[in-house]
Structure 1
Amino acid sequence: MKKLTGDAELAQKVLNLRRGGLHFDVIADQLNLTIPTARALFDQAMGEHDPEFQRALETDRLDRLHASLWPRAVKGELDAVDRVLRISERRERVAAVPKVNEHSLRKAFDQSATTSAELNPGWDAALVEAGRKIADRVDEAVSTGEGQEVTKALYLIPHLNNVLREMLATPASRAATADKTPPPPRTEGKLAQLRAIQGARKSS
C-alpha cells in the first residue's frame, strides 16, 4: 500500500474519483491506498479548493452535470430542460448559507419548565424530557431542513402544547384549574346566617 506523501497528483486522482460518486473504500482499492490515506488525500485536494469540503464537492458535481446537459437544453429537449432547472434549484440550496440553530423553542420550553410551580422534579421528569425532545426536533428542522421537513416538524407543535398543558404552562390550562378551585369554607353555620338575616329585618 502507498503511504501518504502529499502528492498533489495523487490527491487530484482521489478527488476526481470522489467527484464521480465513488466511496472511499472503492477509491482506495483502485489506487492501492488505505482508506484513511484516501480520505486524507481527498481532504488535501479539497483544501486547495474550498475549506467547506462537502459543499464545494456538491457544487462541483452540479456544475459538471449542468454543463453536460446544457447543449441539449438549449436545443429545446424538454427532459434536458427539466433536469437543468432541477440542478439549478439544487445548486441554490447548496450555495445557501446554512442557518444557525439558535434552539429558541428549547430555550423557551426550558424557561417554562423552570418557572412552573406545579412541576415535581422527580415525578414529572419524563414529561419535561418529552417536551425537550419535541422542542429540539422542531428547532433542528427549522434551522437545517427544507420546506417539507419543516412542515412535518411543525406537526409536533400540538404534542408540545399537550405537554405544556399538563405542566399548567398555558394560559388556558391555568384558567381551567383556577375555575375548579373549591370556594373557601364558610366560617359560620346556617343557623347563624338566619339569625343575622332576622336581626337585619328587625333593625329595619
Structure 2
Amino acid sequence: MTGNNVRQPDERLRAQQCLELRREGHTWQEIADQLGYADRSGARKAVERLLDRTEFESVDEYRVLESDRLDALHAAYWTAALDGDLDAAKLVLRISAQRCRLLGLDLPARVSIEPGPAGEDFAVTAARLMTEIMDADARTLPDFLTSDPSSPEVESEPWSNIGK
C-alpha cells in the first residue's frame, strides 16, 4: 500500500509470494527483506489479508502446514516440559495456544436456540413462564412484598427507610 492507503495492483501477487515463501519455511523478516516490506509485520499482515480473502483450499493447506510445524515444536519440547523444565513448559503452552488460534478452538461456543413448544408463540410462552415464576415467588417472597400495598401497615417502598 502507498501512503494514501490505495492498494497497488501487484499487492495480491506480492502477498501470494509471501505466502509461498512462508510455506517454504522462511521467517517473516526474510520474506520482508526479499519482497521489500518495511518490516516483518508488513509481510505477515499481507499474508493474513490474503488468507482472509483466499479460497478455502489454500487456507486449509496453510493451516495444515502450520499445524505440522507446531506439532514438531511441541514434540521437541514435550519431554523436557514434563521433566520440569519451566521454560519448555511455557513454550509448550504457547504452542498449544497458537494451535488453538490456528484451528479456531478458542472461538466462543455456538449456541443453538431451539423453538418453543409446538403451536405456542413467544408471547404466549413468555406470559405462561411469567405466571409460573410469579406463582413460585409468591410462596417464597417475604411478607412485605406479598401484602396488600394499600394496607396501612405496609410501606409502599420498604427500602425507603434506609438511613433513617
Q: What TM-score does the superposition give when structure 2 sets the normalisation length?
A: 0.36
Q: Which has the higher helix share?
A: 1
Rg (Cα) greater in structure: 1
Task: Return the TM-score normalized by structure 1.
Answer: 0.31
